[in-house]
Amino acid sequence: MQEIGHFIGGKHVAGTSGRTAIVYNPATGEVQATVALASVAEIRAAVENAKAAQPKWAATNPQRRARVFFKFVELLNKHMDELAEMLSKEHGKTIEDSKGDIIRGLEVCEFVCGIPHLAKGEFTEGAGPAIDMYSIRQPVGIGAGITPFNFPGMIPMWMFAPAIACGNAFILKPSERDPSLPIRLAELIIEAGLPAGILNVVNGDKAAVDAILADPDIAAISFVGSTPIARYVYGTAAMNGKRAQCFGGAKNHMIIMPDADMDQAVNALMGAGYGSAGERCMAISVAVPVGEDTANRLVEKLVPKIESLRIGPYTDDKADMGPLVTKDAYNRVNGLIDRGVEEGAKLVVDGRGFKLQGYEDGYFVGGSLFDHVTPSMDIYKTEIFGPVLSVVRAKNYEDALDLPMKHEYGNGVAIYTRDGDAARDFASRINIGMIGVNVPIPVPLAYHSFGGWKASSFGDLNQHGTDSIKFWTRTKTITARWPSGIKDGAEFVMPTMK
């Protein structure tokens, strides 16, 4: 059986804590590997490697840092099939979905190839009498990333690419559920020319997270996961004097106006609700049709499409979606479907009990659809993180708008309409971080920033885009005046421009 350790100082390192976790094949339920769970000492070893390597990397000019990422992008493309296979085998998502996962991370690596421009400061000549003033952006030193299971390629690259491009060293603590891909990414970026010690991958659980939060040499932390853990990481990081950006849960709504192209809306809901078995923080899990006629037409068109979803292992190249990642996830999703029935929602399509011939022990849940869901129900309030779509019927536009406005989460939202006035009003008023107008999953491209509002996000700066450059650097401002411009005698009053 494969034993997965850590990647520290540019090489593979076996775990020494004596603790391990099991990595399953989600399609079969079989154990396929064990992964080491790091101790405080192992986290510290990674930090020491990073600390030794970072000053020289920070002193490397931005153009040379960019060249590493140019080469890394080339290697990602060259090894795409291998990387997607590795991801799918542990996560369960389809090969094409895995490629999308990796490509979305690759695009951030492409973005940071522009680091010579992105990291430039500002200069003002003559800010005062014979005074010049300028600001520069300098790396924070050592950063860390704690990433979830659902995007084991994309989210690590969203974190380490801008951090490293800015001149930092980085400690990555990926999910122990699918740990192989992050280590392979570290191998490839070393091949691309990154010095050993700049990217270290340390597998672990809460003990590793707490060690990262407590380590005095880690200056900044990026986290993606559930809202309770995001709150914990953000609060603990702040108490320990660390900069943090923490992204939590979501309950993304799609509002379908009466004038929307219903076929487009239905197709959008199918991909956004059931792609990757719903294990996406930007999945649409709540459909909000405006008016009874809109709702009836929506449900009528959704049902046959959900019932005809092709569900299979990642090796089935015709599969629309695969299994959930673990048995715990399988039990949780089925339990929430049970809960929806108990609460009185109408289960129009029931995905419980789905079995695939030859994969009876896999963690497969069929696509499920609830109608007549209300905001008081647990299935509306909770992020299910599975292939379950809830229809909440709204009487009018204002009622529809009110639903995402009042929900605790504020990650993403979408509206389907032909009415430009309605779309503009929606985008202006909604208290959500990422908005789609006739776009179901409004994840911004790499040169804009990703981040939600409310309980979906903690911290002032988002992921990728220019926000990421600001997060992984500190601003230093210099005010300079040379002897020829200095008056004789001491000045005792506060200097001003008056």
To the nearest whole percent, how much of the chain has pLDDT over 70?
99
Q: Which residues are catalytic?
A: 281
pLDDT at 487 over 80: no
pLDDT tens-digit readout, 3-58: 999 999 999 999 999 999 999 999 999 999 999 999 999 999 999 999 999 999 99
347 beta partners: 370
User: What does the pLDDT average to over 313-318?
Assistant: 96
pLDDT tens-digit readout, 327-336: 999 999 999 9
Note whether 42 and 17 are within 8 A (CB): yes
pLDDT at 188 over 80: yes
Under the banding of pLDDT at 50, 70 and 90, the label for residue 371 is very high
Backbone dihedral angles phi then psi of residue 344, each to the nearest 5 degrees: 105, 5
User: What does the pLDDT average to over 362-391?
Assistant: 98
Domains present along the chain, CATH in parentheses = 2-248+456-478 (3.40.605.10), 257-437 (3.40.309.10)
What does the pLDDT read at residue 186?
Answer: 98
What does the pLDDT read at residue 498?
Answer: 67
pLDDT tens-digit readout, 191-234: 999 999 999 999 999 999 999 999 999 999 999 999 999 999 99
User: What does the pLDDT average to over 262-273?
Assistant: 98
pLDDT tens-digit readout, 406-419: 999 999 999 999 99
**Per residue in 12-28, is it b (16+ CB within 10 Å) or e — as a string?**
ebebeeeebbebbbbbb
